[in-house]
Structure 1
């Protein structure tokens, strides 16, 4: 018989109103990318943000680099006539040190080519560090792990 070890929470959970604000942030953020509004999507990152993923050997550093890569991805999808949708689920938000919010979620990413069935393209685990600047949330650090690739 196995004994379950209690899960220790690293940060304290946030109040309901803040949780809803973070949910709204992700709804707007993901919709911007899915609609090809790359500047709106990358505008949600701090100028010195880091975007790391196990799909790339090195993290993207800075909003400008993130924007260049996002624009290239959006162009490739448009050329293929493909639509991509990011569905964020199981969102968990906690407050870390110095008021940084830590958001953990799964992202289910579908792809549809008009006239073809939609398919689940990727399943990812994501963790963002969110900071507030001028009353607005920004992503300071994003870590994405695609389930189909080794975690390196």
Structure 2
């Protein structure tokens, strides 16, 4: 029988990790966000763009995405992860599958935009209280 307390602790640790990671992203603290990946971590968030590998490439991609997608637009984005499912892998890592929504708000606009809806597929390395993303692939519901 699986250790329920250990699984509960891991679930809470993962939720706290995602909260800190997404708040770093939404706060424009891209270096802090990139540091949540392993040194050789893989990140793919658009099916039309090659995946990034490594913290430096992830950091460069984030700055480029912000610059080309939003430029001087004073948007505030909020990333919401929910319905997290954690599955152990044979190598000791954990596969995390979560639903994601991105909420975009602009000054003076009362109604935020809620898009996209996606599924986040992560492989997490967990060492005690430390969590890092080994790989992240995001699939978008509107592309299915």
Measured against the shorter chain, the TM-score band is: 0.7 to 0.9
| SS of residue paired to 1:58 | coil
Deviates more, 1:55-64 or 1:19-28: 55-64
Superposed, which structure 2 residues align to 1:2-151 within 5 Å? 15-75=7-67, 76-77=69-70, 79-116=72-109, 117-132=111-126, 136-150=130-144
Residue 37 of structure 1 deviates from its aligned partner by: 0.8
* Distance in 2 between residues matched to 1:21 and 1:46, nearest whole Å: 17
Q: If the length of structure 2 is used for normalisation, what is the TM-score? A: 0.87
Q: Which runs of 5+ in 2 are unaligned?
A: none
Instruction: Note the C-alpha offset of 1:73.
Output: 2.8
Number of equivalenced pairs = 139
**Structure 1 length normalisation: TM-score?**
0.82
- C-alpha contact 1:77 1:83 (8 A) present in aligned 2: no
Greater C-alpha Rg: 1
Secondary structure at the residue paired with 1:148? helix
Taking a change above 3 Å as real, the CA distance of residues 48 and 122 of structure 1, as seen in their structure-2 partners, is same
Cα root mean square deviation, aligned: 2.1
**In the TM superposition, what is the alpha-carbon distance from 1:60 to its structure 2 partner?**
1.2
Is the contact between residue 130 and residue 138 of structure 1 (CA under 8 Å) also seen in structure 2?
yes
Greater CA drift, 124-133 or 40-49: 124-133
List gaps (5 residues or longer) in structure 1: 1-12
Partner-residue secondary structure (3-state), 1:99: coil
